[in-house]
Chains A and B, each alone.
Chain A
Amino acid sequence: MMELICPAGTPAALKSAIDAGADAIYCGFNDETNARNFPGLNFSRDELRKGIALAHDRGAKILVAINTFPRASAVDIWHRAVDDAVNAGADALILADIGLMDYTARRHPSQRLHVSVQAAAANPDAIAFYAENFGARRVVLPRVLSVPEIAEITRESACETEVFVFGGLCVMAEGRCSLSSYATGKSPNMQGVCSPPSHVTYEQTAEGTKSSLGGFTINRFGVSEPAGYPTLCKGRFSTAQGAGYIFEDPVSLDATTLLRGLRDAGVTALKIEGRQRGRAYVESVVRHFRHALAALESGSEADIASLKPFTEGQASTLGAYRKTWR
């Protein structure tokens, strides 16, 4: 059966994920070494050790994401994160930076290493590069591939593949996007944040609400329209060719209906996005996918309970998995 990989931004969410049936939980330290570096989120060294003990006790694994790109002259902060995660007993490290993979492979050769989606390994040659150079055992595939493409890559892949099935959806190649830092000075690659709340403003006008990021208007909502969060690539913009959601509508990924295809494609693990989300999200989404996987296994009809309350803008998409835009 495919593994279910679930997010945890707090020890409470980690416990909820285990209770709801996660096979593995991924989390990060509460600093700039992980790509969900939000205030009040993530784990101290002590919390991680306790989380790992709890997970192992319950038969679950802990994957530690150290997936920002180390800042020049401060690489030791990331080295310490790697050392501490290994010493705490992490089942795998999720890394994006080549220098950090090199360090980990040399210093901790028996540590299981996963290639983060931030490393943007989008084909078998790139995957082989990571497997051959650093002994990577699994790659998290970018959210730009269709199911047939995932099948082809997995067939040729030098290691296991893991794909996202639910949550926020990057439309740009992950780990290769500087849109956020262009507007705010803070980027996923360097600071571990995208469209950070510290740079968001909402302004009430006679026509409704205007949301901005770093001084750039990202969207305008009518009085009766709910004002969504101004994630840069999900904004409404205008061009000579027309206005609207130029890059992507504010939707979340939900691949519940594609699980059979992903299994047949040979995918090892399914990932749920959302370390920044609360316990209720983690619990409901994990439980939903646990049931869907069980149904898939037994050949019965999956109960596709609506995950709408947990999607961005209450709308979901199959993303690139069904390439309608191609």
Chain B
Amino acid sequence: MQLSLGPVLYNWAPERWRDFYFRIADEAPVDVVSVGEIVCSKRSPFFADHIPGVVERLQRAGKQVLLGSLILVSLRRERRQTEELAAAEGVLVEVNDLTCLRALAGRPHAIGPFVNIYNEASAAFHVAQGARRICLPPELPLTSVAAIAKAVPIVTTEVFAFGRVPLAISARCYHARLHKLAKDNCRFVCEKDPDGLLLNTLEQQDFLTVNGVQTLSHTCANLLGEIGLLRESNVGSLRLSPQDCDMVAIVRTFRDVLDGRDDVDSGNHRLAAAYPGVPFSNGFLWAEPGHLYRQARSGDAQGSVSQIGAV
């Protein structure tokens, strides 16, 4: 089972962003790293200068590097940006919107979690178009994950296994709206929230996280307890999505549990210690409301798919 690191979804300071990847290259036992600003095209120029250096450092460390495409492409310059990305050589492009696919069709590429693949037929279509890796939408239940992963064994199927769950994308920027700014003059206020802005209900229940044009869960996905089931389901890679925490510790924890050097309970404690104060969730995988967390029973990591539905 591979571990992959998803792209940083938040607006981090460029130097910090670069240093984060340098440390990942040097210290994190991760196999694949997806790089690039995929949430907001206005942020892209800040990272552009650092991307070549980051890609080189990661590749030198033996990581496979993917370049992610924008999730929502509507402006002309966003189309141009996407087209340029599709022309990239030496790295796989991770497609997060079909805009990119037209230019890539027939060439090897990866599919990110923002492309709607809900069934075997859609997965097969993408494989025929040249997809080599498919990260499935976080909303999918395990039954669907298993059916898809088994239907396209020649590609690596990946699931979203750690991090706040991306739930929606909009043309409007909610950070700008909250700060009473227009999107075109947003002053990049999202940089004030490197782990997103917490959104509560009026009863002060923690609910969602605002990240500019993107809305994520408040809870943090954690599929550590389902590793055994995912393995059995032919899932070949777990995606860990960067949060404002020690991601090297997160990656090591997953690697240790995958390799049998640590167990699920201990692993969960390590994850909670590295990313404190944010509850776990795995409801989507169990076809339940996504915010819920079903505690793995001991032995579940080696469990079987037949347990699905036995809530």
What's the Cα separation between A100 and B120 when bound, in Å?
11
Instruction: Select which of B72, B79, B125, B204 is within 8 A of A98 by beta carbon.
Output: B125
Q: Which residues of B contact A102 (CB under 8 A)?
A: 121, 125
- Check if B305 is an interface residue, CB within 8 A of chain A: no
Q: Which residues of A contact B83 (CB under 8 A)?
A: 125
What's the Cα separation between A257 and B173 when bound, in Å?
25
Instruction: Select which of B121, B151, B171, B179 is within 8 A of A241 by beta carbon.
Output: B179
Contacts A123-B99, A125-B82, A178-B168 hold; do A97 and B118 have CB atoms under 8 A apart? yes
Identity of the chain A residue whose Cβ is nearest the Cβ of B204 in the assembled complex: A238
On whether the beta carbons of B198 and A240 are closer than 8 Å, the reply is yes
On whether the beta carbons of B139 and A178 are closer than 8 Å, the reply is yes
- Check if B289 is an interface residue, CB within 8 A of chain A: yes
On whether the beta carbons of A325 and B168 are closer than 8 Å, the reply is no
- Check if B295 is an interface residue, CB within 8 A of chain A: no
Contacts A173-B72, A178-B138 hold; do A217 and B197 have CB atoms under 8 A apart? no
Contact residues of B with A, CB < 8 Å? 71-74, 76, 78-79, 82-83, 97-99, 101-103, 114, 116, 118-126, 137-140, 143-145, 147-148, 151, 165, 167-174, 176-179, 182-184, 197-205, 207-208, 210, 215, 217, 283-284, 287-291
Q: Which residues of A contact B167 (CB under 8 A)?
A: 177-179, 182
On whether the beta carbons of B177 and A325 are closer than 8 Å, the reply is yes
Instruction: Select which of A72, A96, A145, A149 is within 8 A of B143 by beta carbon.
Output: A72
Minimum Cβ distance to chain B for residue A1 (Å): 28
10 A-B contacts (beta carbon < 8 Å): A75-B119, A98-B121, A122-B73, A125-B83, A126-B97, A176-B168, A181-B290, A238-B202, A242-B178, A247-B170
List A residues 218-236 near B (Cβ within 8 Å): 218-220, 233, 235-236
List the one stretch of A44-52, A185-193, A282-290, A309-317 in contact with chain B: A185-193
Q: Which residues of A contact B183 (CB under 8 A)?
A: 325-326
What's the Cα separation between A190 and B139 when bound, in Å?
9
| CB < 8 Å A-B pair total | 212
Dominant SS at the B interface?
A: mixed
Identity of the chain A residue whose Cβ is nearest the Cβ of B83 in the assembled complex: A125
On whether the beta carbons of B122 and A239 are closer than 8 Å, the reply is no
Minimum Cβ distance to chain B for residue A319 (Å): 10
Minimum Cβ distance to chain B for residue A164 (Å): 14
Instruction: Select which of B139, B182, B203 is within 8 A of A325 by beta carbon.
Output: B182
Contact residues of A with B, CB < 8 Å? 69-73, 75, 96-100, 102-103, 119-126, 128-130, 132, 144-145, 149, 152, 171-173, 175-179, 181-185, 187, 189-190, 210, 214, 216-220, 233, 235-243, 246-247, 320, 325-326
What's the Cα separation between A130 and B223 when bound, in Å?
35
Minimum Cβ distance to chain B for residue A218 (Å): 7
Contacts A239-B200, A242-B178 hold; do A217 and B170 have CB atoms under 8 A apart? no
Contacts A98-B122, A99-B121, A123-B79 hold; do A172 and B203 have CB atoms under 8 A apart? no
Q: Which residues of B contact A216 (CB under 8 A)?
A: 201, 205, 207
Instruction: Select which of B101, B103, B143, B289 is within 8 A of A182 by beta carbon.
Output: B289
What's the Cα separation between A129 and B206 when bound, in Å?
40
What's the Cα separation between A187 and B116 when bound, in Å?
13
Q: Which residues of B contact A182 (CB under 8 A)?
A: 165, 167, 208, 217, 284, 289-291
Minimum Cβ distance to chain A for residue B177 (Å): 7
Identity of the chain A residue whose Cβ is nearest the Cβ of B287 in the assembled complex: A185
On whether the beta carbons of A326 and B122 are closer than 8 Å, the reply is no
On whether the beta carbons of B79 and A125 are closer than 8 Å, the reply is yes
Identity of the chain A residue whose Cβ is nearest the Cβ of B122 in the assembled complex: A99
On whether the beta carbons of B99 and A247 are closer than 8 Å, the reply is no
What's the Cα separation between A290 and B291 when bound, in Å?
45
On whether the beta carbons of A97 and B98 are closer than 8 Å, the reply is no
Q: Which residues of B contact A128 (CB under 8 A)?
A: 102
What's the Cα separation between A99 and B184 when bound, in Å?
37
Q: Which residues of A contact B290 (CB under 8 A)?
A: 178, 181-183, 185
On whether the beta carbons of A238 and B201 are closer than 8 Å, the reply is yes
On whether the beta carbons of B168 and A177 are closer than 8 Å, the reply is yes
Contacts A97-B119, A182-B290, A237-B202 hold; do A171 and B165 have CB atoms under 8 A apart? no
Smallest CB-CB A-B distances: 8 pairs: A99-B121, A69-B118, A144-B171, A72-B147, A72-B144, A99-B122, A182-B290, A172-B168
Instruction: Select which of B103, B203, B289 is within 8 A of A217 by beta carbon.
Output: B203
Known: A173-B169, A176-B72. 7 other contacts (CB 8 A): A96-B116, A99-B122, A129-B102, A182-B165, A182-B208, A185-B290, A239-B198
On whether the beta carbons of A189 and B118 are closer than 8 Å, the reply is yes
What's the Cα separation between A103 and B120 when bound, in Å?
12
What's the Cα separation between A124 and B73 when bound, in Å?
10
What's the Cα separation between A325 and B177 when bound, in Å?
8
On whether the beta carbons of B116 and A181 are closer than 8 Å, the reply is no
What's the Cα separation between A130 and B105 when bound, in Å?
13
Instruction: Select which of B126, B144, B171 is within 8 A of A320 by beta carbon.
Output: B171
On whether the beta carbons of A99 and B168 are closer than 8 Å, the reply is no
Q: Which residues of A contact B98 (CB under 8 A)?
A: 121, 126, 129-130
Q: Which residues of A contact B151 (CB under 8 A)?
A: 72
On whether the beta carbons of B202 and A173 are closer than 8 Å, the reply is no
Q: Which residues of B contact A130 (CB under 8 A)?
A: 98
Q: Which residues of A contact B174 (CB under 8 A)?
A: 246-247
On whether the beta carbons of B118 and A239 are closer than 8 Å, the reply is no
